[in-house]
Amino acid sequence: MNSSKIIAAAALTLLAAAGAQAETYEGVHALTHGANRTQVQAQAVVAAHSENPYAEGADSGVLTIASSADRATVRAQAVAAAHSPNPYADGYGQGVLTLAGSTLDRATVRIQARAAARGFNAAAL
């Protein structure tokens, strides 16, 4: 029994040794181009100023739209849109909330507001 175990272990060792082969190290890769430092720097500047080839839609090109509207018309429309109410705001289209008119005059309200800001009781004044 011992001999059969020894033979089986030796066979497994030979099988493992045959299957395990290490890769050889070939060192640092050799240069694939002969460009000097200034040429590489010039290429880097060109690459930095060109558009990103990996950007989304990089191959689609620039979309140009021919418009018949002049600059002043477009600017006037933009100003009107900027001053109009926001249609995506909460409560848009609900109408303007009208407040009930106050019977207090402006000076009284101002005195009460200042007193409240300073922590005084405005009703005691």
Instruction: Tell me the per-residue pLDDT of 51-82, one tens digit each, with 9 for 90 and over.
Output: 777 777 666 666 667 788 899 998 998 888 88
pLDDT at 45: 92
Q: Is the pTM of this model over 0.85?
A: no
What does the domain layout of the chain look like in residue ranges?
A: 42-51+58-82
Buried b / exposed e along 80-111 (16+ C-beta atoms within 10 A): eeeeeeeeeeeeeeeeeeeeeeeeeeeeeeee
| Residue 19 pLDDT greater than 70, yes or no | no
pLDDT at 42: 93
| Residue 93 pLDDT greater than 90, yes or no | no
| Residue 124 pLDDT greater than 60, yes or no | no
User: Cα–Cα distance between 52 and 77 in angstroms, integer?
Assistant: 34
pLDDT at 13: 79
